[in-house]
Amino acid sequence: MKNGILALALEKGLEGTGVTPAEALAITELPETSIYELLAVSERVRRTHLGVEVNLCSIVNAKSGLCKEDCSFCAQSVKYSTGVTEYPMSEPGKIVGAAKEAAAFGAREFSIVTSGTAIEKERDIAALTSALRSMKESVAMERCASLGILSRDTLMKLKESGLESYHHNLETGRSFFPKVCTTHEYDEDVEVVRTAKELGFHVCSGGIFGLGEGWDVRVELFATLKELGADSVPINFLNPRPGTPLENAQNLKPVECLKIIALGRLMMPKTDIVVCGGRQVNLRDLQPLIFAAGANGMMIGNYLTTPGREPGDDLQMLADLGLRPRGYK
């Protein structure tokens, strides 16, 4: 059975179709002792389709806190007392300055991230369009943003100002979403992803793991992302934030994190899989194995509300693994 499902995963991975949700579930049932056989398959699939280049992305938290949504993992919700720093939309110059810093430490893609359901105020949109135009003129990086449940018109306006990628996480599988967020519907998130795809953005959409979801939910999320045609799938691991409902959640075991990444790779063989928040605290010394598990991207620099590793340490890790950062255009 073990060799059968891994042989099938390799075959479907190499041909690019990926395993079905039922086959993915069979992979999750493999014993923990099979992890290195699983990584041998996921590494080969990643290398075949994506080579040795790794996409490095970085973010700026351009508007922090005071969000009226109630995502149970998030320190930026106004419903929880987390002590997170709160501030309105940053000035364009500050956003562009952060992009230049990220470019200097090796990031290829830069995302402007804001808290809240959606950016709606005209003056906030004006700050973003100004920052995007300035980035286009002065920094050679892919311009991405994560601004919530935006309308088609606002997305169009941002595209005209130079936005290339749009990020919007589904967070978890549809069946588990009501346990994570009760202030908006899953379909609202799905709709943004669909609209961004229709408008021709490079679409980055993934989720966060370690919220108490089972393997069936993880498979459900990846199946939805595959069906939506996400171009890039960010994988976050919960780093429990004091004051949130999940403050006492246990970190995932490193091997479980690797299995999640491998599952994503084997379901979506050609998609960018990018490991983002929670990498250090969940994977600890197994961080270099994310690439064997099938990741071909990672976030470097700081996360939204928590500090990241020194970018130099991440670049050294890539060099030691014989991998190299992907260039911009």
Footprint of ligand SF4 on 93-122 (CB under 6 A): 115
CA–CA dist 50, 110 (Å, integer): 21
Listing DSSP states for 194-253 in one string gives HHHHHTT-EEE--EEE-SS--HHHHHHHHHHHHHHT-SEEEEEE--PPTTSTTTTPPPPP
Q: Find, among 130, 123, 170, 126, the residue nearest to 146 by Cα.
A: 170
Among residues 69, 124, 220, 314, the one that binds ligand SF4 under rule CB under 6 A: 69
Q: How far is the CB of 86 from ligand SF4 (least distance, A)?
A: 11
Q: Does 124 bind ligand SF4 (CB under 6 A)?
A: no
Cβ-based nearer residue to ligand SF4, 74 or 261: 74
Q: Does 82 bind ligand SF4 (CB under 6 A)?
A: no
Query: Which ranges of the chain would DSSP assign to H, the alpha helix?
Result: 2-15, 21-28, 35-50, 92-104, 122-138, 152-160, 177-180, 186-198, 215-228, 254-267, 279-283, 311-321
Q: How far is the CB of 274 from ligand SF4 (least distance, A)?
A: 17
**Residue count, binding to ligand SF4 (CB under 6 A):** 7
Give the number of residues written for the chain: 329
Cβ-based nearer residue to ligand SF4, 49 or 174: 174
Q: How far is the CB of 68 from ligand SF4 (least distance, A)?
A: 8
Q: How far is the CB of 119 from ligand SF4 (least distance, A)?
A: 12
Among residues 39, 67, 223, 261, the one that binds ligand SF4 under rule CB under 6 A: 67
Q: Does 224 bind ligand SF4 (CB under 6 A)?
A: no
Residues that bind ligand SF4 (CB under 6 A): 67, 69, 71, 74, 76-77, 115
